[in-house]
Structure 1
Amino acid sequence: MTNKNIIKLLPYQKPFLFVDGIDTVSEHGITGHYTFKKDESFYKGHFKDNPITPGVILTECMAQIGLVCLGIYLMKDELNESIKPQIALTSHQIDFYLPVLPNEKVTVISEKEVFRFNKMKCKVKLFNEKDELVCRGNISGMIQIPAKAGISDSKNQ
C-alpha cells in the first residue's frame, strides 16, 4: 500500500483533512506532515487579530496522521477502495508548548505502543518548521472494518 493510498482511505475530507503527506511508515510508527493554510476557517475567530491554531485541531492532526494513517497501514491487507475503516478516538492526553501560526508546516511523529483487537495506542509528537517540539502525548483509538454487504450479524438472526 502506497502512502497516497493510505491518504485516500482516510475517512476525512476538506476542510477537516489535516494530512498533506506521509514521509515514512512502518509496523512501528509513522511520520507525516501538514501545512495549516492561512485561510483555514478556524483562524477567523481564534484569536481575534492574533490567529493561532487551536489545540483541538493540533490534536486532530496528530490523530489523523499518528493513529488513523498508521492504523490503515497496519490493516492494509483488509482494506481497499470499497472497504474503508471506521475510526473512533477513545482517549488522548496532550501537552502543548508552542503555538502554530497560519502557513506553518508541522510534522507529526508517532510510535506505536499497542495494536491489539483493532485498538491502538501511540506516542505522538508534533514539531514546527524549526524542528521545535510544539506538543506531545498519547492518543488511543479503535479502528473497525465495516461488515461486508450481504453478510448478516449472528446476533440479528
Structure 2
Amino acid sequence: MITTKEILALLPYSDPFLFVDEIKEVNEQGCEGVYRFRENLPFYRGHFKEQPVTPGVILTECCAQIGLVCLGIFLLLSEEQTFSGKLQIAMSSVEMEFLNATYPNEEVRVVSEKVYFRFSKLKCKVKMYNSNNEIVCKGTIAGMIKPGQHA
C-alpha cells in the first residue's frame, strides 16, 4: 500500500515553491490535499502593497501540485513503476476560473478528479476551496508525468 508520506517524499519541489502541506486522501480516481499560504511567502511583498493576495498563477500551481502531481505519483506507484525519485513532469494545458481571493495565512483544500491517465499523460478536474468551503478556483489541468531516465 502506498502511503501519503511516500508521495510527499517524491515531490520534486522544495520551499518556497512547495504548495502541499498534507494529502488527506488519494486513490485511483483523485486526490485531496491542503496547503496554508503562510504570510512570509515572498510573492506577498509585492502583490498588492496594501492588501496582499495570492496570485492566480500560484493558486494554479498549488492545484497542479496536489491535484495532478501527487495523484500522478500515486498512479505511477500503483502501476508498480520503479524510479529513483527523479520524475519528469511537464504541464501541458491548464484552464482555470478564479472565483474568490486567497489571502496570507489562509488554508485551502484542493480536490482533483481524474479524467484520464494514459501514455504518461494525466488530465484532472480540480477545485480549490477556502476555509469557508467556498470555491476559490476550478478548472482542468493536464500534464505529463513519468519516471526519469537513468544517466
Any unmatched runs of 5+ in structure 1?
150-157
| Local SS of the residue matching 1:98 | coil
Question: C-alpha distance in 2, partners of 1:130/1:30?
Answer: 20
Give the Cα separation in 2 of the matches to 1:22 and 1:135: 19
What is aligned with 1:65? Answer: 66
Give the % identical residues. 55
Alignment partner of 1:107: what SS? strand
Q: Quick check: 1:93–1:139 contact (8 Å CA) kept in 2?
A: yes
Secondary structure of residue in 1 paired with 2:40: coil
Provide structure 2 residue ranges, at least 5 long, that are not aligned to the other structure: none
**Aligned CA-pair RMSD:** 0.9
Does residue 78 of the first structure (1) align with residue 81 of the second (2)?
yes
TM-score, normalising length: structure 1? 0.92
Counterparts of 2:50 and 2:18, CA distance in 1: 25
The count of residues paired between Structure 1 and Structure 2 equals: 148
Give the equivalent residue in structure 1 for 2:31: 30
Off by >3 Å, runs of 4+ in structure 1 = none
Q: Specify which of 135, 141, 144 is matched with residue 142 of structure 1.
A: 144
Q: How does 1:1-157 map to 2 (within 5 A)?
A: 1-76=2-77, 77-80=80-83, 82-149=84-151
**TM-score of the aligned structures, taking structure 2 as reference length:** 0.95
Q: Distance in 1 between matches of 2:138 and 2:120?
A: 23
Indicate the SS of the match to 1:140.
Answer: strand
Q: AA paired with 2:62?
A: C
Give 1:79 shift. 3.7
* Distance in 2 separating the partners of 1:17 and 1:128: 18
Give the structure with higher Rg (CA).
1
Task: Measure, in 1, the Cα distance between the counterparts of 2:65 and 2:115.
Answer: 16
Q: Is the 8 A contact 1:11 1:86 kept in 2?
A: no
